[in-house]
Amino acid sequence: MATLKDIGVELGLSPATVSRALNGFPEVNVKTRDKVREVADRLGYRPNRVAQRLVTGRSGMVGMIIKIRADMSADQTFFEMLTGLTAALGAHDVDLVLAVDQDDDPVLPYRKLMERDILDGFILNAPVPDDPRVAYLREKGIPFVMHGQTGPDVPYACYGIDNAAVSQDAVQLLSSLGHKRIALVNGQLRYAYAVDRLGGFQAAMAAEGLPVPAAFAASDAETEMQGYTIGLAMLSGRDGVPPTAIVCASTLIAAGVIRAVKDRGLRVPQDISVMAHDDALPLMDPVGLEPALTVTRAPLRDACVPLAALMVAHIKGAPAEQQVERAALIVRASTGPAPKGGESPWP
Amino acid sequence: MATLKDIGVELGLSPATVSRALNGFPEVNVKTRDKVREVADRLGYRPNRVAQRLVTGRSGMVGMIIKIRADMSADQTFFEMLTGLTAALGAHDVDLVLAVDQDDDPVLPYRKLMERDILDGFILNAPVPDDPRVAYLREKGIPFVMHGQTGPDVPYACYGIDNAAVSQDAVQLLSSLGHKRIALVNGQLRYAYAVDRLGGFQAAMAAEGLPVPAAFAASDAETEMQGYTIGLAMLSGRDGVPPTAIVCASTLIAAGVIRAVKDRGLRVPQDISVMAHDDALPLMDPVGLEPALTVTRAPLRDACVPLAALMVAHIKGAPAEQQVERAALIVRASTGPAPKGGESPWP
DNA sequence: CAAAAAAATTAAAACGATTTGAAAATAGAA
DNA sequence: TTCTATTTTCAAATCGTTTTAATTTTTTTG
């Protein structure tokens, strides 16, 4: 394997100049730079990463812990992130080391991996309110970037979407269509994103002057089947007059809710409008649903590039930066005007 | 962070001696060794992995590619291996870098990861017959260890169980119990393990002088539901006289098959004996089934330690070694004597 | 054209470990 | 004691890169 010295010998240059030339330093002559590049190409030069890491003091590796579920599986979102992150980090010559979290103590796997002395930092996901991992990593001064936020105005590096705005956009859209009874089928409240969505939902409803019956803000839904079950329950009228519009935490849940609406003999969107937040996961296509699903959309995969950039910058000493994007609102066929009094199956 | 030099200064020793002392070289005085160890402990010395790697020429990292399924999930077995391998490799100071395979070309992710110049080798799993990854890695001279084998007498390093023997043990047990119509609900035939199980099954049946109707060697089962469906089909008699014993590829499939047997109004093991191969995955407990399941057993997790050892040895230049273990046979309540002619629901 | 300024290059140190070959300390034998 | 063996230790080289400070070369300026 060719080294900087080999290239230098070939051209009568010192390794220092060769290094500078290849790294695009401004003080190297354009002609020498081109010659160096050419010889490097010809010799198939590839920098020795380990040597680079020794001198820069950085290992070029970041860690990520997979929190596996009780059924020993991880969800689609994890692989989506993993795929995107390995690519995005690779572009910065950074590699991803994974470990599995199977313990009760959420901090332990981070400590264990850090003790191996090979990591520059961590990428965290699925933040929970008052995340203990944040406390630990901040205390130890270990760089990390969070996908999402544990709450508003956090003091650490993170990238995510404004989940309160997700609910707000949904409520405003539906309210503008004349809906007054709007329900939220939320994700698990132990996650910060679901807390934010709920908060945004309640705030937006209040801002629109609409009340929120408790049964209209259901939580803990994750699967199509759960969406179906919760949908049926909401439509049963057991807990009061059913909603005319339902906002779902994911397209998967929305699929279940739509199934429930249809099974009840009702139509989407004529009787009930349904919408959801869409992470753009490969297998859950909101357009493939019948009818095509109105969504707030923020592809999970898109988060990987900025996350990797934030991570790399942070490792190099840049101050922690918070980036909060707003999800796009895409109106399709599953939302429509609220049924008029006379048309509605309910008073 | 303390270095070798720091320890040397403290004791008036050279870094060379300190290095030798900590690495247990014989030519260092016992007293100095103890003193060095003590100071190293006190200073919290931890060797700089990157520096070690630069001088030894090894990166201390091995790669593994996750083959995710069409539904963007990976199965329990993957996480089981991942958990075990990170621990087992960690004991050798080796770390695991993961990447996701989402392409048609099974070799591409290996090439991509190798081009990053940071890996000492790969750990492969889920071998298929004539695995193209094997061809590629052998051609490039990249060290790897396979969990399992692509066939008998392979020329590369591997660790796994004898899958032909798994079927053989099952057939011999059932045959000794008087069963003559024994069926196999196999895994997906694109995997080498399923091919071996089928081969072993047919050979063992032949050795026992028993015929194998085509419908008795079903493939492509992976889930409980598939086990149930195939079980029902086999018991329907549509494809000939049903079996009196069913050998399943996994405990999950066996759970489905047992459910099918019960739904048909039959009893396990009085009417039908059921057994399976057990990878000892955390959530599928064969003893929890009703009745407790007879199995051939080889915990997946147990394979991780020898796999890691093989990998490390191979990287250090040891010749490729093949280790094929035999699964244990554990007889429980789900297998019993074949029903006598008069007792059987079939002729 | 000489002096000063700017540009380009280099030698050498550094990162922190391992390892080779030589030197020092100790032990044993004569 | 003296000489030789044997342990034990050390100085220095090495791995391949980056970076600092110094030096050389080129260009600009008065």
Give, for all 347 residues of chain A, the pLDDT tens digit: 899 999 999 999 999 999 999 999 998 999 999 999 999 999 999 999 999 999 999 888 999 998 877 665 666 788 889 889 998 998 898 989 988 887 788 999 999 888 888 899 999 999 999 999 999 999 999 999 999 999 888 999 999 999 999 999 999 999 999 999 999 999 999 999 999 999 999 999 999 999 998 889 988 888 899 999 999 999 998 888 999 999 999 999 999 999 999 999 999 999 999 999 999 988 788 999 999 999 999 999 999 999 999 999 999 888 999 999 999 999 999 999 999 865 555 54
Question: pLDDT band at B347, cuts 50/70/90?
Answer: very low
Q: Which CATH number fits domain A163-299: 3.30.310.50, 3.40.50.970, 2.60.120.1440, 3.40.50.2300?
A: 3.40.50.2300
Looking at residue B222, its pLDDT comes to 86
Query: Residues of B at the A interface (Cβ-Cβ below 8 Å)?
Result: 46, 48-51, 53-54, 59-61, 66, 68, 70-76, 79-80, 82-83, 86, 90, 93, 95-100, 102, 116-118, 281-283
Please judge whether A49 and B75 are an interchain contact, meaning their C-beta atoms are less than 8 angstroms apart: no
> Which residues have Cβ atoms closer than 7 angstroms to strand C?
A 8, 12-17, 20, 26-30, 32, 51, 54-55, 57; B 1, 3-5, 15-16, 19-20, 22-23, 45, 47-48, 51-52, 54-56
CATH 3.40.50.2300 residue ranges for chain B: 61-161+301-327, 163-298
Which letter does DSSP use for residue B268 in this model?
A: T
CA separation for the pair B283, B261 (Å, rounded): 22
Residues 6+ apart with CB under 8 A from A55: none
Q: Please, which residues bridge with residue B325 across strands?
A: B161
* Dihedral over alpha carbons A78, A80, A84, A89 (to 10 degrees): 10
Token digits of residue B211: 């015929």
Is residue B99 predicted with pLDDT exceeding 90? no
- pLDDT at site A347: 46
Sign of dihedral through CA atoms B114, B118, B124, B125? negative
pLDDT over threshold 90, residue B66? no
Task: Tell me the CA–C1' distance in angstroms for B29 and D7.
Answer: 8
- CATH number of this structure's domain A4-47: 1.10.260.40
CA of A347 to C1' of C2 (A): 101
The CATH 3.40.50.2300 portion of chain A extends over 61-161+301-326, 163-299
Q: Is the pLDDT reported for residue B313 higher than 60?
A: yes
Angle between helices B4-11 and B30-43 (to 10 degrees): 120
Residue B137 near residue B325, CB atoms below 8 Å: no
Measured CA to C1', what is the nucleotide nearest A11? C9
Q: How far is CA B92 from the centre of its chain?
A: 20
What confidence score (pLDDT) does residue B79 get? 82
Q: Is the CB of B117 under 7 A from strand D?
A: no
Strand partners, B324: B160
Place of tokens 């990428």: A123
Q: Do B50 and A48 touch (CB under 8 A)?
A: no
The band of B343, judged by pLDDT with boundaries at 50, 70 and 90, is low
The predicted structure's pLDDT at residue B225: 93
Report how far residue B49's alpha carbon sits from residue B3's, in angstroms, rounded to the nearest whole number: 11
Suggest the residue from B48, B95, B111 to mutate for an interface test with chain A (most A CBs closer than 10 A).
B95
Cα gap B272→B267, rounded to integer Å: 6
Q: Which residues of A touch B86 (CB under 8 A)?
A: 98-100
Contact B283 A48 (CB under 8 A): no
The nearest alpha carbon in chain A to B51 belongs to A54
Distances (CA, A) of A181 to A213, A345, B61: 9, 14, 56
B278-289: pLDDT as tens digits: 999 887 889 999
The CATH architecture annotation of domain B61-161+301-327 reads 3-Layer(aba) Sandwich (3.40)
| pLDDT at B317 exceeding the cut of 90 | no
Could B73 and A74 be called an inter-chain contact, meaning their C-beta atoms sit closer than 8 Å?
yes
> Measured between alpha carbons, how far is B326 from B166 in angstroms, rounded to an integer?
8
Q: What secondary structure does DSSP assign to A133-166, as a single string? A: HHHHHHHHT--EEEES-SSSS-SS-EEEE-HHHH
Q: What pLDDT does A79 receive?
A: 82
Looking at chain A, the domain(s) classified CATH 1.10.260.40 span 4-47
Q: A1 CA, D22 C1': separation in Å?
A: 31
Cis peptide before B269 (omega within 30 of 0): yes
Residue in A160, A115, A104 with CA at minimum distance from that of residue A142: A115
| Contact state of B82 with A93 under an 8 Å Cβ cutoff | no
Cβ-nearest to A102 among B53, B83, B117: B83
Query: In DSSP terms, which residues pair with B295 in a beta bridge?
Result: B276, B330
CB-nearest to A74 from B79, B93, B95 is: B79
Which position has the token pair 């007498």?
B153
Q: How far is the CA of A47 from the C1' of D20 (A)?
A: 21
Which bases of chain D come closer than 7 Å to a protein CB? Answer: 7-12, 14-20
Fold held by A61-161+301-326 = Rossmann fold (3.40.50)
Strand D atom within 7 Å of A5 CB: yes
Return the SS3 of B242. Answer: coil
> Are B98 and A98 within 8 A, CB to CB?
yes
C-beta atoms of A50 and B46 within 8 A: no
CA-CA distances (angstroms) from residue B64 to A42, A121, B79, B97? 31, 21, 12, 6
Q: What is residue A332's predicted lDDT score, i.e. its pLDDT?
A: 98
- The string of pLDDT tens digits covering residues B135-156 is 999 999 999 999 999 988 899 9
pLDDT in the model for residue B23: 93
In the three-class reduction of DSSP (H, G, I as helix; E, B as strand; rest coil), residue A279 is classed as: coil
- pLDDT, one tens digit per residue, over B259-278 is 999 999 999 999 999 999 99
Mean pLDDT in residue range B104-117: 88
* Strand D reaches within 7 A of the B48 CB: no
- Rounded to whole angstroms, how far apart are CA atoms A1 and A156? 41
CB A253 within 8 A of CB A281: no
Distance in Å, residue A1 CA to nucleotide D10 C1': 32
Sheet of B328-330: strand order equals B217-218, B182-185, B245-248, B273-278, B294-297, B328-330
Does residue B116 register a pLDDT over 90?
no
Nearest-CA distance A109 → chain B (Å): 11
Residues of chain B positioned with their CB less than 8 A from the CB of A45: none
Residue B183 burial (CB < 10 Å; 0-12/13-18/19+)?
buried
Give residue-wise pLDDT tens across range B173-196.
999 999 999 999 999 999 999 999
Q: Give A76's contacts in chain B (Cβ within 8 Å).
A: 71-73
Fold of B163-298: Rossmann fold (3.40.50)
Distance from CA of A175 to the nearest CA of B (A): 35
